[in-house]
Amino acid sequence: MHDLSLSFLLIFLLAILFPNWLFGQFFPNPSFEGPRGSHLSPPPWKPCERNSTPDTQPGAWEVTKLPTDGNSYISIIARGTHGPASNTPEDINIKLNRDLLAGHCYSFSIDLSMSTKFGHTSSIGWINYDTPAVLKIYGGNINCEEAELLWLSDPISNSNWETLFFTLRPTEESIKYIRLAADYHNAFSYYGNILIDNIQTYTEKVIYTIAMDTIVDFGDTLHLSASSGDAYKWSSENQLSCSDCREQLLVVKGSGSYVVEIEDAYGCNFFEEFMVEIRYDPELLFVPNLITPNGDGANDHFEIRGLPDRSKLEIFNRSGKLVYSKDFYDNSWNGQETNGRSLPKGIYFYKLKSELFSQPYTGFIEVIK
Ligand SMILES: [Ca+2]
């Protein structure tokens, strides 16, 4: 893995381990800490103007699950057909520490669960709010506004805490307020609950994935295809067929990784890495023993067949002095010194190094003029 991949991996790992330190929190009180009880919201989170208010848990409505972070978390419900606030889902609202900007992307994680026991006794008996609800995340410019639905979860059916990662990509305006709402999944109404704890901010930009990890033979043709986007920027220590296209068709001559930065329609940048390891057969290597650099097109250059990418060539004169050196040799030597000055005719000694060779390949090369 080369340096670029390592730095991205490091950033990704740091983001997992220390999200707040790297990026700062968008959400005040992201762990929903506050006095526990029914109809209580942990400040500065506030319910919107509805007849149904969130609760700070555990302890209310028979919920006993422990928090994933700190001392408390919240529950919001989807309410069924019975009672004065029937058929209403609950929500909770917050003013962000800083705006989410249109055209940017932001990655978060959130801990979600449902409680299999969540209810109360009513005039029609015990009501259990145990049908999985969906979580909606709205963005707005004023309190409780639903200017934009930024994210919709699958039904939250897990009864143990799970951490979900999600990305918000506002498209219209700067988002100042975020509203979390429980809602019904494919039904007019039913009784359900969602438990929410520990929202963490990860990154404003970077998503990094390993797209491929493969082993091929030296000289094989490899097809690399990036995920769909609007723009592409490739980087690699090895040769590329183009730097800004979606697909690469390569004759592979070196191990290493190919990284593409993809920009999507929302201006969200993410990275994919293709890691390639090659098998090398030393029989492939053919090194000529003379060159005739007279410009007639025949044997003008020291052209090594089966040359791996990132090979290093060194040329020494008869007294053992290093006269030419190139780290990424490209079959271009035609009898010159490293500084370009022409060398006299005669016999020279070469040393070719590659990570694919068990030891340097050496021999004599005659320059005929
Ligand atoms: Ca908490």
CATH number for the domain including 260? 2.60.40.10
Q: Examine the pLDDT at 50 and tell me if it is beyond 70.
A: no
Last residue of a domain, one of 258, 279, 300: 279
Across residues 318-328, what is the average pLDDT? 95
C-alpha 63 to ligand 1 mean position (Å):
15
Assigned domain for 44 exists: yes
**Cα gap 136→181, rounded to integer Å:** 5
Backbone φ, ψ for residue 3 (5° rounding): -60, -40
The CA-CA-CA angle for residues 251, 256, 262, to 5°, reads 85
Assigned domain for 110 exists: yes
C-alpha 351 to ligand 1 mean position (Å):
63
Assigned domain for 268 exists: yes
C-alpha 217 to ligand 1 mean position (Å):
52
- The structure tokens listed for 251 are 């004759």
**Domain interval for residue 197:** 18-203
Higher per-residue pLDDT: 60 or 264? 60
Q: Are residues 219 and 349 in the same domain?
A: no
Most confident of 15-19, 71-75, 226-230: 71-75
C-alpha 72 to ligand 1 mean position (Å):
4
Residue 73 belongs to a domain with what CATH number?
2.60.120.260
C-alpha 2 to ligand 1 mean position (Å):
39
Across residues 125-147, what is the average pLDDT? 93
C-alpha 185 to ligand 1 mean position (Å):
26
Which pTM does this prediction carry? 0.57
Q: Are residues 311 and 233 in the same domain?
A: no
DSSP letter at 190?
-
From residue 185, how far is each of 155, 157, 188, 361 by CA, in Å? 7, 11, 8, 67
Backbone φ, ψ for residue 7 (5° rounding): -65, -40
Give the distance from CA 369 to its chain's centroid. 56
C-alpha 225 to ligand 1 mean position (Å):
42
What rounded mean pLDDT belongs to the chain?
Answer: 88
97-113 pLDDT, tens digit per residue, is 999 887 678 888 899 99
Q: Examine the pLDDT at 64 and tell me if it is beyond 50.
A: yes
Predicted pLDDT of residue 21: 46
Neighbouring residues of 212: CB distance < 8 A, sequence distance ≥ 6: 224, 274, 275, 276
C-alpha 73 to ligand 1 mean position (Å):
5
C-alpha 165 to ligand 1 mean position (Å):
17
Q: Are residues 308 and 272 in the same domain?
A: no
Assigned domain for 133 exists: yes
143-202 pLDDT, tens digit per residue, is 888 889 999 999 999 999 999 988 888 887 789 999 999 999 998 999 999 999 999 887
SS3 content of the chain, % helix, strand, coil (to 5): 5, 40, 50
C-alpha 196 to ligand 1 mean position (Å):
8
- Overall domain count for the chain: 3
Last residue of a domain, one of 251, 279, 307: 279
Higher per-residue pLDDT: 193 or 49? 193
Is residue 5 within a helix (H) or strand (E), and if so which, with residue range? helix 3-17
Predicted pLDDT of residue 367: 95
Name the pLDDT band for 1 (thresholds 50, 70, 90): very low
Q: Are residues 253 and 324 in the same domain?
A: no
Q: Are residues 274 and 305 in the same domain?
A: no
Q: Are residues 305 and 245 in the same domain?
A: no
Q: Are residues 246 and 309 in the same domain?
A: no
Name the pLDDT band for 20 (thresholds 50, 70, 90): very low
Q: Are residues 171 and 255 in the same domain?
A: no
**Cα gap 191→304, rounded to integer Å:** 74
Assigned domain for 23 exists: yes
Predicted pLDDT of residue 212: 83
Assigned domain for 295 exists: yes
Predicted pLDDT of residue 368: 94
Q: Are residues 51 and 151 in the same domain?
A: yes
C-alpha 68 to ligand 1 mean position (Å):
6
CB 136 within 8 A of CB 184: no
C-alpha 33 to ligand 1 mean position (Å):
5
Neighbouring residues of 16: CB distance < 8 A, sequence distance ≥ 6: 202
Across residues 39-66, what is the average pLDDT? 91
Assigned domain for 9 exists: no
Predicted pLDDT of residue 145: 86
Across residues 302-323, what is the average pLDDT? 95
C-alpha 227 to ligand 1 mean position (Å):
36
Q: Are residues 27 and 176 in the same domain?
A: yes
Q: Are residues 352 and 231 in the same domain?
A: no
Got the DSSP string for 44-103? T-B--SSS---EEESSSTT--PPPSSSS-EEEEEE--SSSTTTT-B-EEEEEEEEEEPTT
Q: Are residues 246 and 347 in the same domain?
A: no
Assigned domain for 4 exists: no
Residue 309 belongs to a domain with what CATH number?
2.60.40
C-alpha 49 to ligand 1 mean position (Å):
24
Q: Examine the pLDDT at 45 and tell me if it is beyond 70.
A: yes
**Cα gap 107→16, rounded to integer Å:** 11
Last residue of a domain, one of 203, 237, 259: 203
Across residues 265-293, what is the average pLDDT? 86
Predicted pLDDT of residue 267: 58
Neighbouring residues of 165: CB distance < 8 A, sequence distance ≥ 6: 107, 108, 109, 202
C-alpha 121 to ligand 1 mean position (Å):
27
DSSP letter at 227?
P
C-alpha 288 to ligand 1 mean position (Å):
71
